[in-house]
């Protein structure tokens, strides 16, 4: 019971992988987060006309149909004990969304003591090199369901660099660096005392304030409006295939893409003055 009380997710997290209305607002995104400059990329001598990825249209992430709008298979699950988990699997066909190569994609959600939620994404390229940059787009409101906006939440980002973007949401050339599992950000709601710290092994993170969230219906008739939640999306740098100095997002046959993140929740009692 205590663990559940510390996990006030604004929108459905795990089952969003199976699709549903406005799935891009609560899902694992498709092949490539944000946008490449020309909607294509080059690997050796092969140039593939991959679909443009839109950062403006919510459902456009990952191409015309991101991984949040496909049917995933439950490979295994444990619903009891100290570390319950569920693992989803999806096979992406060669040429899907205009990207080369077949992919085997696994996403595992697990709860562990004391109050941790871990998400692990593993992708294996079967036959061709292809860019892979998955991100989890869960919305968080630590004040609880139906509590209004998150404008009084406190956020600390553990970042040494940032990438400014142009009008189409693409970054100019900047240096980057690879990192192991490390603290990414900390979020706290002063009123409820709830907080979480995000750890991940990706070089970048995108912070989104739900500024485009308009009247999204939640459970019990509650409605989430602008700034009704926040997102912290760990990922590779957007447009990395066009910047040789960015950490590479290309996965070649036999290689495994590994994206791990852990949300470590905590609580500190608050008292009215």
Which positions are annotated as active-site residues?
Answer: 137, 233
| Distance from C-alpha of 263 to C-alpha of 215, rounded to nearest angstrom | 27
Give me 260's structure tokens. Answer: 């791990």
How open is the CA angle 230-212-214, to the nearest 5 degrees?
Answer: 100
Asked if 36 and 69 touch (Cβ cutoff 8 Å), the reply is no
Asked if 248 and 131 touch (Cβ cutoff 8 Å), the reply is no
| Distance from C-alpha of 47 to C-alpha of 83, rounded to nearest angstrom | 44
How does DSSP assign 130-175, residue by residue? EE-B--B---B-TT-TT----TT-EEEE--S------TTS------
How does DSSP assign 61-72, residue by residue? TTSSS-GGGSPP
How does DSSP assign 88-116, residue by residue? EEEEEPTTGGG--S-EEEEEEEEEETTTE
Give me 173's structure tokens. Answer: 């050339």
Asked if 136 and 202 touch (Cβ cutoff 8 Å), the reply is no
CA-based nearest residue to 10, from 114, 143, 133, 145: 145
Read off the DSSP letter of residue 2: H
């Amino acid at each position: 019971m205590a663990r559940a009380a510390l996990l006030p997710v604004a929108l459905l997290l795990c089952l969003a992988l199976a699709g549903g209305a406005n799935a891009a607002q609560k899902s694992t995104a498709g092949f490539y987060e944000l946008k490449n400059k020309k909607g294509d990329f080059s690997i050796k001598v092969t140039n593939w006309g991959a679909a443009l990825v839109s950062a403006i249209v919510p459902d456009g992430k990952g191409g015309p149909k991101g991984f949040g709008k496909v049917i995933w298979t439950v490979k295994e699950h444990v619903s009891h004990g100290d570390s319950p988990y569920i693992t989803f699997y999806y096979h992406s066909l060669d040429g899907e969304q205009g990207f080369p190569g077949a992919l085997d994609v696994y996403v595992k959600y697990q709860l562990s003591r004391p109050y941790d939620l871990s998400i692990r994404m593993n992708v294996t390229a079967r036959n061709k090199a292809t860019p892979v940059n998955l991100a989890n787009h869960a919305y968080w409101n630590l004040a609880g369901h139906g509590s209004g906006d998150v404008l009084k939440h406190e956020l600390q980002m553990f970042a040494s660099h940032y990438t400014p973007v142009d009008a189409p949401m693409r970054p100019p050339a900047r240096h980057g660096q690879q990192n192991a599992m490390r603290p990414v950000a900390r979020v706290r709601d002063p009123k409820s005392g709830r907080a979480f710290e995000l750890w991940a092994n990706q070089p970048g993170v995108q912070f989104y304030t739900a500024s485009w969230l308009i009247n999204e219906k939640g459970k019990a008739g509650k409605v989430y409006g602008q700034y009704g939640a926040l997102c912290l999306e760990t990922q590779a740098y957007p447009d990395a295939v066009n910047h040789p100095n960015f950490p590479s997002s290309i996965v070649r046959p036999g290689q495994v893409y590994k994206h791990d993140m852990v949300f470590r929740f905590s609580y500190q009692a608050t008292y009215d003055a």
